[in-house]
Structures are given as structure tokens and as C-alpha cells.
Structure 1
Amino acid sequence: MSTSAPPDAPPALRARHLRKQFPGVVANEDVSLTLRAGTVHAIVGENGAGKSTLMKLLYGMHRPDSGEIHLDGEPVRFTSPREAIAAGLGMVHQHFMLADNLSVLENVVLGAEPGRAGVLDLPAATRRVEELCANLGVRVHPHAETGGLSVADRQRVEIVKALYRGARILILDEPTAVLVPQEVERLFVSLDRLRTRGLSILFISHKLDEVLAVADDVTVIRRGVTVADSLQANEVSSRELAHLMIGAELVRTERPAHPADQTARRVALGLEEVSLRLSDGRQALDAVCLDVGEGEVVGIAGVEGNGQTELIECAAGLRRPDHGTLTLFGRNITGTTLRRRRADGVALVPEDRHRQALLLEAPVWENRMLGRQSAPPNSRRGWLTRRAARRDTEHLMRDYDVRARDADVAAASLSGGNQQKLVIGRELAAEPKVLLAAHPTRGVDIAAQQQIWRRIEEAAAAGAGVLLVSADLDELLSRSDRLLVMLRGRIVAQVDPRRTSTEELGVAMSGAGESAR
């Protein structure tokens, strides 16, 4: 039964003229929004526009320098997330805050355990978690180990965790970034259930079609300023939102089709019968055969956890397969190291930039030269040349539109999109022969996506072979020359990206396409 607020009720949350400045950077200059009770309110903007800072201000992770926040019409000033949670706010971060070695129940109740005298009332906690899962339409067993769940189920556990703590306002940061279309639809069904029960939801996303599909209202932020507050989603188009986000018309480009005759192309990267079993006994790769030609973009589609991560890691030299052969322009590289492969022209954009691509507390200039510390201009006669390395980094920042005060700020201070552009720039500046790109535009706004893809396609035009893994099916279909589907560690289908819909691709990824192998 719907518990929507009456028309004259105060907004569930209202922010007015919020400002937040960090050393050398004004993250929020003048940000306002109004979240109506019982609605989904989307917040969109370019990377670095101030969306994440706004969420942290609302959630008590930062304190505003000026401005006001009202909850149910009453002014509030949170000094910590604990205070925000106590007031009824919950937040699901883009990078999940779950302990993989704990059960679903343990993750949900951690820090909010029901009981007396410090003793957990396990039956009461289990009943409450089961009730919340049922209300959300989630089929996850409370005693299942969290580490064994799919990405979509882990996200649902995060939502249940927030609801368990009494959240009336739910903040979702890029919730669809790692989901396939079928999982996105299920998430939207869950959000509709929450909205019907009176919850208010802030939904941050770069996918404007999804924003318009799920949101009631939309707020647009550009360069730390609200340029449009509470637009009605059914009265605005994705093109109009894009224009508001970047302040100019956005021209959509797609990768041009290659000539049908590919016989003259050399194989840049080859995998022959590559298999890998993990330490837990799971067969991550099962006799994988594929090749990537010079100047070709080969896409890999699959629900996360079906071997794509291990495929990229084997190709990069982070893992050595149990069986099979890897070649680089015909030369066997199966036993060579990551360092050797990088020297031979293999570049890597890993799927998790925080854990695998950046030293977050180190300055931008140090991150720019990672893996190439001994090469010019970073080194001369064995000595690090800091001034030259900084100048080179500043040039890359201008070239790839990495927005930061200077090259000395910590990588952690950059927005997610600017961190990604830094990683892309570092890898492509070496003019690689093979680019391994895992989710290269994940969590990146539409303008930055086009910048990144322009650079990748320039590398392909210069002859680099590109192996692309992405959870964005539209990206796979529009950017790939050939598209392969992975399921349970095997290549189960090859589809024509120009004659396949996202729905058909999703079916193949779920297993129905296995017969096409």
C-alpha cells in the first residue's frame, strides 16, 4: 500500500545553496535540490561536477562551509554518518561496503545488532532480514556467504542493510554501473516497491535513459552549481539533460564499421585453449580460444563472475594459466611477467581503478608514471627526474582533460571520472600494441565517455588491438568490431554487434545462447 506524503507535506529532504571548498578546489559552489517524499530523484552531472561531494554533505561525511539542509522541514547539521543514519538516511556506495567472509545476516546487522546485554538475538535479526528481503523482492538467504553472491545480489544486501537501520531516505551512487539489463530492470522493480512504501530515493547515474525510466524528478549539477532543480522526468529528454550537464550540444559518435575483408590483419593477441582453475577449485577459464587483430576491437560480454576478470588478468600477465598458450604477434608470451608484457606493448586498464590502477594517497604525477618510472622523461641515467615527470603529467592532464588543481594533489582527491581519465591517459600515452580495457567508462559521464572512446579508437586506428570487457551492453554493441559472449569461463557465442539488440545479448549472457557455440 502506498504511503505517499500529502501534497502539502514538507519535502523529505531539501538542500539550499550548499558550498564546500577543499584546499585549492571548490567542489560545491551553490548546490540546491528538493527531494519530495515518496519519489525517486535523480542527480546528474559531469564527473567532477560535485555530485559525490553533495552526497557526502547530505550523509554527514563532510560538513558544508555554508548553506542549509532540512529534513522533513526541520534544519539539520550532521557531523557524522552515524548521525545521518540515526535521522533516517541510508547510502549505498558505488564500491560496496561489505565483508566478503561474513554472511548476509552478519553484514546487515553489523553495528546494529538487536539483543540485550550485548547478546545478539539471532532469531529476531533473521526474521527482520527475511522480512526486508521479501518487501524488496530479494531472494537471498540470510546465512549465505556474501563473497559468493553475484554483484546484483551484493547490491541488494547493501540496500537491505540500509533499510535494516531504518532508512527513510536512500542514496544510491551509480547503482546500475555493474548490472546487465535484466538486473537493472529488477533493481527498478525493487525501487518502485520502496517508493510505493513511502521511501524517498536519491539516484545518481550517468545513464540518462535509465534516469528518465526510473526518476520522478531530476536535478542537474554543472561545475559545482545546480543549473536545474527538480525537473519533471516525464517532461525532459536525455538530449536536453546532456545539454544542461555539459553546457553544449553532445554529438553522438559510433565506431565506424571495418571493411569485410580482414585477412590482411595480423593477430596482435592470441589465446589458444587457455584454462585456469582458482585456488577455491572454481574453473575460471575453460579452454578459451580467441584472437584480437591489429586495429580491431573485440568485445567480451558476460554477467560478472563468468571469467572476464581472469581472462584480462591472464592476458596482462597477472595470472599464469594452467593450460594453453598466449601469443603477442605470434610470439609465445605465456610465461612472461606483467612488467615484460608492458615493455612489449601491452597496456592494461583494470576493472577496479582503486585497487589495481592507482595509489590513491600518492600525487597525480607519481600515478601517471606508475610502471614506467625508469623510462624518459621520468628517469635520466637511473635517477628520478621529478620536475620533468611533473611537466609530463601536466601535459597529460591537459590532453585528457583530467581536472585537478595541479599534478601534486593526491589521486584520491580526484573524482572517479577524472581518476579514470588519468589511468586511460597513462596507458595510451605509451602507444600500446595491445590494449586490455576492462570497463573503461564505468562511472564516467557521457562527455568523458566520448573523450575516452575517441582516444581508444585513435589507438586502434594506429594499429593497437583492443580487448574490451564491459558491463555496458550499449557500449559493447556500438564499439566492438566482433563480440564474444562468456559464460562459466567459456566462449559460448559470437554475435554481430551491428545486428544484435541488448535484449538478445542479455539472453545469450544468461545461458540461452550457449547452443550457438
Structure 2
Amino acid sequence: MCVIASSTQSPAAAGVGDLAVELEGITKRFPGVVANKDIAFSVRRGTVHAIVGENGAGKSTLMKILYGVQRPDEGSIKVNGQPVNLHTPADAIRAGIGMVFQHFMLADNLTILENVVLGAESMHGIGNAAREEIRRISDDYGLDVDADALVADLGVGARQRVEILKVLYRGAKILILDEPTAVLVPQEVDELFDNLRELKKEGLTVLFISHKLDEVLKVADSITVIRRGTTIDTVDPSSVNARQLAELMVGSELPSPSTEESTVTDRPVLRVSGLSLQGTEGRPLLDDISFTIHAGEVLGIAGVEGNGQAELVEVIMGMREPTSGQVVLEDTDISDWDVREIREAGVAYIPEDRQRHGLLLEAPLWENRILGHQTEAPNVRGPLINASGARADTERIVREYDVRTPSVYVTAASLSGGNQQKLIVGREMSHDPKVLVAAHPTRGVDVGAQASIWDLMRHARAKGLAVLLISADLEELIGLSDTIQVILRGRLTGPFDPDTVTSEELGAAMTGAAADTASTTDRPATGRPTGDTSHEGDHR
């Protein structure tokens, strides 16, 4: 039976009229798994109520139920004291519930106004009346949005404000935010929290789903912990710390990405020199990028999304051919190799978006194990796919990497985000790679999956793997990296020493607010890259 803290949940204590959302006995079953079991908690109006738990704990399913995407098998929902039946998202919107998803759903080639009114043209039209309503909402809630700005020109934080404005425009008084800080730098997180405080002042209610426990403690008025599909407790943030929350979530201490000793060797494995990539509009997407990663070294790349990190990965992995410059693996120039050749040569790849670029969601796990390694054992026997070999090795990956699944025959879509990620990591590490290119490897995963992936990267580093780590999680970068570079407008600035640099200093460098911020080693005053950034003497 779940324990509910009476200080935040009792209608008698809070007053029934003060409750925006009440969930009672919510249960949802899927074939082979119970996603939610007897979920029960209440949310006070005008508060930020956080929902935390491991990937696979049932958070996403629960929020989809509250947003009308899925229907519960059992239980009841009340909104503002009234029972509701939410069959579709349209029902949820009519009940005053809006949801901002982790992956933004905006069209880059449209203005903010066009994105906001799309699908809601009947509310205020598509002209001046809609523009005035957007301006009113932006002013009332401190969102700082220009209706006529092109979405393609917006940073990540501004895009998120547009998503919030979209649901407010449709009349939402209860907002569900799914991992809203996953792609934000510290300054943007602070801006988001300021926005949430404005929403609270106006009487709006926010359900805040996150795995970043320090942020949850900073912004939430109440926190509900879900473990293995059921509510464990609802707590006051002032009464717990991050370590205690982690123990409620996973029964263990909060993991740390810290790396205690250097494993860096003097053997270069991946060398990038003078790499440039021209964009379609004449603006360089990559501009004279140079660095070297040695065996046993983790080079971290920090940057606000859209500053060239995705293009850098695509060039290294052979998805794009550089305009100029070289990518050298050990002693071989691979700049003009295709993706298959690069993969077969020993470059493992954890993609930025696991669902779009790492998995076939409707295929079973054993088929996903083959992806990217179609020409390698145990996936092939001669010229043919070795299905039995792939299935057996998928079973091994499931065991060794703690992929929680009823079988290797279920689809990848049926796994939680953290378990999808662990499957990808297990697949990539199963071919003894020389280099690991890891783009946001722990994005959107819980503390348990995060700890597993951190342990894996530490182990890979100790075995002599060269790792290129691109992440928006600055704690992760500082904890795992031997050297950190910042990418801004396609150029590298740095290096920064993880032993001494702070998240705030990295965030300032990422946004261009501190172009002349001194790093821990000498670099030109212009902040331009220094060329080869091997820096053997700078490693921990």
C-alpha cells in the first residue's frame, strides 16, 4: 500500500477546493507488465508538484493517462474537484490540462505565431487577434516571446517557452512538463524556474517530471516518488535531500559521475584536425575544429544545442563529408569513409536521439541488437543474418546491462527510455570498439540507468577506449571528462580543466556570455581554439 504524506495530500488538510488534480487507484496494464498499480496522490492548485522515479517506474504512462493519450484500467481522476473521463488529449485540453513533451514539437520554418495557432485557428484566428493574445500571455507570465520571430532562430530555452505558451494559449491551467530541463544550460534552467514561479503566481498548477533531483528540490512545492509502478511517498522538499530522494526511488545512494584517477595514455586514437563544414546558407556549421583523444581519455564537449555538436558527430561517423580537414583513426585517414566502414573499423556510437537514430521501435529487441553491426558476428553467418546468434547475444546484453524486459521478443517501443538506452549501450560495447562517440548518453534516464551508464564509461575508459562525450549535463561532463571543450557557433573554445571549472563558468562559455573566461590552461585572448588539444599534462 502506498504511503501518502498527509501534510500535502489530505483533502481535509488542504481543503478539497484547493486541489487541482486528484488521482485515486490508477492502474494500467500492458501485456506482460503492470505499468501503474494503485497510483494515488493529489496536487494543490497553484503549486509545482514534481513526479520522480526510475525510467520504467510508470511516470510517463501516468502522465499519458492524465493527458488522455491512454486510458486507465482502474481508478479515477478528478480535476478541480470534478470527476473526468479523459479519452483523448482534446478531452484533457477541455479540462484545462496541457502537456509540454521532452522533445519539442515545433516547425522551424514557421514563426512563433504560426506554431502556436496551428490546430487552434478557431480560437483567435491567425492574424492580429492571435498576435495580441500571444503578447498578452507572454506579458502575463513573463515568457518574453515575440510572436513574429522565426522558430529556427530561437535557442533551446526560448523554444521551451514557446511550447509552454502553446498550451497556455489553449486555455490550460494545469501544465505537465516532461523532463523540461534535459537540454538546458544552467542559466536557462534558472530562467525556466523563474517562469514557473510566474505561472504559480497566476494560479496555474505545474506537474514537473524530472530525474534531476537537485533541480526538483529547488523548484517543487511537493514531490511524489514512484517506484515500480506505484506511489511510494509524497514528501515536502524541505524535509529531504537528493540522496534520500534517490533512496526512495531506487533503494540506493545517488550516483556520482566522478572519476578518481587518470587512465590517459600517450597513444592517440582519434585525431580531428582543421575540420570545417559549410552550411547551405554560406555560414560554417563547423569552423577549424581540432582535437586529439588518446587511449583511456574522455574528451567532453559542452554546448547549447544547435552550435555544431550534431554536425561534428555526423562528420566523425561518416554521415557527412567535411568541407575541409581530416578525421584520423589511429594512423588511418577516415574522412571520406562511409558509415559502415567506420563502424567496422571500431567506432561505437550512442546517438543523440535514441528513438529516431538508435532503434527500430516496432522491431523486437534482438533485431535492434543487429542495427549498425549487420556485417559483424554474432549477427551474421557468412552472407546471411544469424538470427539465433543475435537472439542469444541479446539475452546476454539484457543480463549484463540490466535491461529490464520480459523477453528479447518484445518491441523496443515497449521499453522505458532508460532501458532503451542500456540496450543501445550494450550493443555498442559488444564489438570491442577503439572509440566511443557518445552523444547525450544519459539524457532522459533516471538515476539508476544513469549510474549504470556512468559505470560503463568509466570501465571503458579504464580499458583504454577513447571517448568523445557530448552532453548537456554539465555535472556529467565535469565528472567524467579528462578535458572539456566548449563548442559555440561551430568553433571550439577551451580547454577547461574538470577539476577546477564550475557549471556556471561552462554555462557562460556555452552561451557566449564569457568569451574571454580564462580556462585552466593558456589560450588566445580571442577565445579561438588552440588547434590540437591533446594537452597531455592537463589530465587528472
Q: TM-score of the superposition, structure 1-length normalised?
A: 0.95
Q: Is the 8 A contact 2:255 2:451 kept in 1?
A: no
Between the aligned partners of 2:425 and 2:355, the Cα distance in structure 1 is: 14
| Cα drift, residue 184 of structure 1 | 0.2
| Cα drift, residue 427 of structure 1 | 0.8
Q: Is the 8 A contact 1:21 1:27 kept in 2?
A: yes
1:149 aligns with 2:154: yes
Corresponding residue for residue 85 of structure 1: 93
SS at 2:28 equivalent: strand
Q: Is the 8 A contact 2:257 2:475 kept in 1?
A: no
SS at 2:121 equivalent: coil
Between the aligned partners of 1:401 and 1:279, the Cα distance in structure 2 is: 43
**Aligned residue type for 1:76:** V
| Cα drift, residue 353 of structure 1 | 1.0
Corresponding residue for residue 54 of structure 1: 62
Corresponding residue for residue 172 of structure 2: 167
Corresponding residue for residue 34 of structure 2: 26
Corresponding residue for residue 110 of structure 2: 102
1:13 aligns with 2:16: no
Between the aligned partners of 1:372 and 1:273, the Cα distance in structure 2 is: 30
| Cα drift, residue 466 of structure 1 | 0.3
Mean alpha-carbon deviation: is it higher for 91-100 or for 243-252? 243-252
Instruction: Provide Cα deviations, 1:282-301, integer angstroms capped at 9, x if missing partner.
Output: 31110011111111000011
**Aligned residue type for 1:96:** F
Corresponding residue for residue 242 of structure 2: 238
- The sequence identity of aligned pairs, in percent, is 53
1:113 aligns with 2:121: yes
- Among residues 183, 189, 197, which one is paired with 2:194 in the alignment? 189
Instruction: Provide Cα deviations, 1:254-312, integer angstroms capped at 9, x if missing partner.
Output: 212317xx6x5211111111000122333111001111111100001111111111111
Corresponding residue for residue 138 of structure 1: 143
| Cα drift, residue 202 of structure 1 | 0.2
1:69 aligns with 2:71: no
Residue-pair matches, total: 506
Between the aligned partners of 1:467 and 1:121, the Cα distance in structure 2 is: 46
Q: Is the 8 A contact 1:114 1:124 kept in 2?
A: no
**Aligned residue type for 1:70:** K
**Aligned residue type for 1:268:** V
Between the aligned partners of 2:344 and 2:380, the Cα distance in structure 1 is: 16
Corresponding residue for residue 122 of structure 1: 127
Instruction: Provide Cα deviations, 1:401-435, integer angstroms capped at 9, x if missing partner.
Output: 11122111111111111111111111111121000
| Cα drift, residue 24 of structure 1 | 1.2
SS at 2:281 equivalent: coil
- Among residues 196, 207, 215, which one is paired with 2:212 in the alignment? 207
Q: Which runs of 4+ in 1 moved over 4 A?
A: none
Between the aligned partners of 1:502 and 1:485, the Cα distance in structure 2 is: 12
| Cα drift, residue 508 of structure 1 | 1.8
| Cα drift, residue 381 of structure 1 | 2.4
Between the aligned partners of 2:136 and 2:257, the Cα distance in structure 1 is: 47
Between the aligned partners of 1:68 and 1:340, the Cα distance in structure 2 is: 55
Q: Is the 8 A contact 2:109 2:152 kept in 1?
A: yes
Mean alpha-carbon deviation: is it higher for 171-180 or for 240-249? 240-249
1:493 aligns with 2:494: yes
Between the aligned partners of 2:492 and 2:255, the Cα distance in structure 1 is: 34
Counterparts of 1:90-489 in structure 2 under 5 Å?
A: 90-114=98-122, 120-229=125-234, 231-250=235-254, 252=256, 254-258=258-262, 265-489=266-490
**Aligned residue type for 2:173:** R
**Aligned residue type for 2:192:** L
SS at 1:513 equivalent: coil
Instruction: Provide Cα deviations, 1:103-129, integer angstroms capped at 9, x if missing partner.
Output: 21111111112469xxx3511000001
| Cα drift, residue 238 of structure 1 | 0.9
SS at 1:203 equivalent: strand
Between the aligned partners of 2:126 and 2:342, the Cα distance in structure 1 is: 54
Instruction: Provide Cα deviations, 1:81-116, integer angstroms capped at 9, x if missing partner.
Output: 000001100000011122222221111111112469
Q: Is the 8 A contact 1:13 1:70 kept in 2?
A: yes
Instruction: Provide Cα deviations, 1:5-52, integer angstroms capped at 9, x if missing partner.
Output: 995324100111111011111111121221100000000000100000
Between the aligned partners of 2:141 and 2:295, the Cα distance in structure 1 is: 47
Between the aligned partners of 2:200 and 2:114, the Cα distance in structure 1 is: 26
Between the aligned partners of 2:86 and 2:345, the Cα distance in structure 1 is: 52
Q: Is the 8 A contact 1:114 1:125 kept in 2?
A: no
1:513 aligns with 2:515: yes
| Cα drift, residue 234 of structure 1 | 1.3
SS at 2:431 equivalent: coil
